[in-house]
Amino acid sequence: MNTLLLRLKGPMQAWGVDSRYTTRSTQEYPSKSGVLGLLAAAQGRRRTDPLEDLAGLSFGVRTDQPGVLMRDFQTAQNWETGKSQPLSSRYYLADAIFVAGISGPERSLAPFREALARPRFPLYLGRRSCPVNPDLFIDVVDQELEIALRSVPWQASLHHRQSRSQKVHLPICRDANQDETGDQVQDVPLSFDSAHRQYGWRTVYTVLQEVDNPDSTARSDPFFEAVISS
């Protein structure tokens, strides 16, 4: 089993899985539907094209820098009629960095390397206002999903690393195995057709990866350390 690794970072990202009407939310980490949609765009797939091959791939993401939740209050006007459009609130993650992994047979992942190098359509971090970073592609490795995510060095900025403790715990949220339980998320793309979008359910299992942080300049908290060691 091989794993395609992507670095997702930028001034803003948005990964909504339950947005409705005038409130466009984002979850705390990239969605499976959003990242698979990015790969589909790189290949030049149309919204009406079948997605069975993509939906069958395993997905996981490691949060290296969680970012800050931001709300953008938007107004709009119909340029033809001059009438005001409904007011909307859109949420984004600012200054966040993630490592995403897509796992499957080598033959299934091989086409994505070329597609990401020369994408057919523009690529976004969840929304059109959030273009991808130029160093998006990391590698394709011959490793299982969680092992591959753990193998990538911590991608956080120096400023973020300096503000953290000497040991940090990075959440890894991945598709659950059959014997694992977790959160239920309606996040498996079945159709991107604008007239009939469909998403299936998946179970998300979360583990923590402990990482040493030699760049830490944060003062230790004796009370916190006493509680942890007790």
How high is the pLDDT of residue 228? Answer: 44
CB 99 within 8 A of CB 6: yes
How high is the pLDDT of residue 224? Answer: 47
How high is the pLDDT of residue 227? Answer: 44
How high is the pLDDT of residue 229? Answer: 41
pTM, to two decimals: 0.87
Q: What is the pLDDT along the chain (230 residues), one digit of tens a residue?
A: 999 999 999 999 999 876 665 677 899 999 999 999 999 999 999 999 999 999 999 999 999 999 999 988 877 777 788 787 777 788 999 999 999 999 999 999 999 999 999 999 999 999 999 999 999 999 999 999 999 999 999 999 999 999 999 999 999 999 999 999 999 999 999 999 988 889 999 999 999 999 999 999 976 555 544 444 44
Q: What is the dihedral of CA 15, 18, 19, 20, to 10 degrees?
A: 170
Helix, strand, or coil (residue 47): coil
How high is the pLDDT of residue 223? Answer: 53
| DSSP H helical ranges for 96-221 | 106-117, 145-151, 158-162
What number of other Cβ atoms are within 10 A of residue 59's Cβ? 25
Q: Closest Cα to residue 27, out of 154, 173, 219?
A: 173
How high is the pLDDT of residue 19? Answer: 61
Q: How many angstroms separate the CA atoms of 98 and 67, rounded?
A: 10
How high is the pLDDT of residue 200? Answer: 93
How high is the pLDDT of residue 20? Answer: 62
